[in-house]
Amino acid sequence: MRIDILTLFPEMFPGVLSSSILGKAQEKGIVQFEVTNFRDYSESKHGTVDDTPYGGGGGMVLKPEPLFRAVEAVTTDSKPRVILLCPQGVPYNQKLAEELAKEEHLILICGHYEGYDERIRENLVTDEISIGDYVLTGGELGAMVIADSVVRLQPGALGNQTSAVEDSFSTGLLEYPHYTRPAEFRGWKVPDILLSGHHANIDKWRLRESLRRTYERRPDLLDKLELTPEMKKWLQEIKEEKKMADKP
């Protein structure tokens, strides 16, 4: 996979892209990152990339010429997904991350100022994505989020590939609780089931605890799932347990 990032602040990326899973994925040849300052593609001798909006109003608007030229310069033989990071985009989630992870080439455009010339949206990009209902100074942090979430899904990027499959949101449920050594710490013990060595029972416990955690923290996710009869039974038990625990 190749990921191109178009930004006015390329100095923000080296630390992130060379560290942890992203750095190791590059070393293994799983992903290639290229960070481009699209100011270099300005037609102005002063490197101007923005201008005042037609019709008046506050703020500056990113001009179309530098971004069109930058995207055309980094586009390879494959047809890339060209992604605009902006508050108006579709909300980013794990399903979209899994979809983008199948692409050969992503181009992430990090905006600044008041917004983009509308011709960029209409004629250059394939996707507009928002990482949340809040406004950031620019799209750089969003591009880092997308790069991280997509690269970790590439085969070989993680030491244990099942980790990505079992992550929160990958199954539609939040992930179950994890424990490691020591088996007892300051009087707090690891659940006996995890020490039993009975893998079928452990799998059931983990699924039930994922269901519990999702019900307690993100019940909205359950509306999107088709639960098995056993999971429905567990969910009813979990609801009853919570009612009992909430009683004064």
Give catalytic residues, as residue numbers: 87, 114, 152, 167
Q: Is the distance from CB of 103 to CB of 136 less than 8 angstroms?
A: no
In contact, 138 and 110? CB cutoff 8 Å: yes
Report CA 226 to chain centroid distance, whole Å.
24
Alpha-carbon distance of 137 to 116, in angstroms, equals 14
118, 162 in Cβ contact below 8 A? no
For 7, the 3-state DSSP assignment is strand
Pairing assessment for the beta strands 32-37 and 2-7 based on DSSP bridges? parallel
Nearest alpha carbon to residue 209 among 173, 171, 163, 162: 173
Q: Are strands 81-91 and 105-110 parallel, antiparallel or unpaired?
A: parallel
Classify strands 105-110 and 2-7 as parallel, antiparallel or unpaired.
parallel
Residues in the chain: 248
Strands across the sheet containing 61-62: 50-51, 61-62, 115-116
